Amino acid sequence: MIHRGGPAASIVLRVPAASVTASAVPFAPRSPSQEREAEKAEFEEFVSTAQVLGEKLGPMVFQFFFFNDSAFSSHVQFVSRLPAFFKKLPRASGCRFAVEIRNKYWLKPRLLDLLRQNNVALVL
């Protein structure tokens, strides 16, 4: 807080109230579950802010980088994680979603079926 009460500006530092928790301090270390909750809240805030665009809002695109064998041993391992990801997407707000898979060898019928089942578009 900067106090401008006299001829020279002074900086006044305050100690946070005891009610301020570590999760409220942006630079404080968080547990993995706190981190997931913060990410979820940020995404929900992003989606609600994007709703201002109304009918001009197009699909939200998730770009997955090129996964090689060190990240996933096969496309099956990657595709098996997608259903849980898709279940977390906010559907009630009328949002549309698309994914971009940057490994052309992973564009298999199983992936396409999963996208169809979850009403998620594929970006080429």
Predicted local distance difference test score (pLDDT) of residue 115: 96
- More confident site: 100 or 25: 100
29-53: per-residue pLDDT in tens?
667 777 778 888 888 888 888 888 8
- More confident site: 5 or 83: 83
When pLDDT is cut at 50, 70 and 90, the band that residue 25 belongs to is low
pTM over 0.75: no
DSSP string for the chain? -EE--SSS-EE---PPPTT--GGGSTTS---HHHHHHHHHHHHHHHHHHHGGGGGG--PEEEEE----TTT-SSHHHHHTTHHHHHHTS--TT---EEEEE--GGG--HHHHHHHHHTTEEEE-
- More confident site: 94 or 99: 99
